[in-house]
């Protein structure tokens, strides 16, 4: 069963909800501005029924993708069609949405078959600041798990995809992956953030930068 957790974001009139979707239990995140009803979806994964239902009546402003592996993009096309919202993805993976071989769905057919979506409307780049939900969202390019992996920094919250997990890190044995790049991303970008930044990963439970600096055996 999909899990749905909700909490208030600090100092902002936003709610944050998470949904564990699909066979790989990929975390999808939903940020909603309470005042306007506008919402942003991060990584709408496979079998997104619970997320789709929760979006009813909301004004979805954007779909943000930390990267374009199949388990993170399974719900992209359904949500985009239903809400007419644009998709944001790093340019290094610009053609992955429409290519099952590159997004990995062709490799793991037993998990749901080919996943195909139209190209993203907007290209992300390192250092970019997105103005969504009436606030700033900073884009950090953190390659290693995949060439176009990014993190979205919203105040003291980082939506980091599959780069850094609680007591673990993302795999680097998939096409375009690089252990050296991942370590550079973690140490050069993520570990320069404040220790109290909360990391919301693509799988598993949330953690903090400080906790991972002190305890993660892989870094």
pLDDT at 107 over 60: yes
pLDDT at 4 over 80: no
pLDDT at 11 over 60: no
Report the first-to-last Cα separation within the chain, whole angstroms. 32
pLDDT at 2 over 50: no
Helices (H), 12-146: 49-54, 70-73, 76-83, 100-103
Q: Give the H/E segment covering residue 139.
A: strand 135-141
The Cα–Cα gap between 70 and 102 comes to 9
Query: In this predicted structure, what is the pLDDT of residue 12?
Result: 54
pLDDT at 67 over 50: yes
Domains and CATH numbers, the chain: 4-215 (3.60.15.10)
- Average pLDDT value for the chain: 94
The Cα–Cα gap between 38 and 31 comes to 8
Of all residues in the chain, the percent with pLDDT exceeding 70 is: 95
Q: Give the H/E segment covering residue 215.
A: helix 209-215
- What pLDDT band is residue 112 in, cutting at 50, 70 and 90? confident
**190 contacts 158 by C-beta, under 8 angstroms:** yes
Query: In this predicted structure, what is the pLDDT of residue 13?
Result: 84
**46 contacts 22 by C-beta, under 8 angstroms:** yes
Query: In this predicted structure, what is the pLDDT of residue 27?
Result: 98
Q: How far is CA 162 from CA 8, 30, 110, 204, in A?
A: 23, 17, 22, 10
| % helix, strand, coil for the chain, step of 5 | 20, 30, 45
- What pLDDT band is residue 93 in, cutting at 50, 70 and 90? very high
Tens digits of residue pLDDT in 192-214: 999 999 999 999 999 999 999 99
The Cα–Cα gap between 48 and 71 comes to 11
140 forms bridges with which residues in the sheet? 151
Query: In this predicted structure, what is the pLDDT of residue 8?
Result: 44
Mean pLDDT to the nearest integer, 87-100: 98
**Unique residue bearing structure tokens 């919250």:** 157
pLDDT at 3 over 80: no
Paired sense of beta strands 4-8 and 207-208, if any: unpaired
pTM over 0.85: yes
């Amino acid at each position: 069963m999909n899990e749905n957790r909700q909490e208030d974001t600090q100092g902002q009139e936003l709610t944050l909800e998470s949904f564990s979707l699909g066979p790989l239990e990929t975390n999808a995140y939903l940020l909603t501005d309470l005042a306007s009803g506008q919402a942003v979806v991060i990584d709408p994964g496979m079998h997104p029924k619970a997320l789709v239902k929760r979006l009813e009546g909301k004004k979805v402003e954007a779909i943000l993708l930390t990267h374009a592996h199949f388990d993170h993009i399974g719900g992209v096309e359904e949500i985009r069609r239903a809400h007419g919202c644009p998709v944001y993805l790093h340019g290094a993976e610009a053609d992955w949405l429409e290519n099952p071989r590159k997004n990995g769905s062709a490799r793991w057919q037993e998990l749901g078959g080919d996943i195909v979506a139209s190209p993203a409307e907007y290209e992300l780049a390192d250092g970019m600041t997105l103005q969504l939900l009436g606030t700033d969202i900073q884009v950090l390019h953190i390659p290693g798990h995949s060439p176009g992996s990014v993190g979205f920094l919203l105040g003291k919250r980082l939506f980091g995809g599959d780069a850094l997990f609680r007591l673990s890190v993302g795999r680097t044995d998939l096409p375009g992956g690089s252990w050296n790049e991942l370590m550079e991303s973690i140490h050069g970008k993520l570990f320069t953030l404040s220790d109290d930044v909360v990391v919301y990963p693509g799988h598993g439970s949330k953690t903090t930068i400080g906790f991972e600096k002190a305890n993660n055996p892989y870094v």
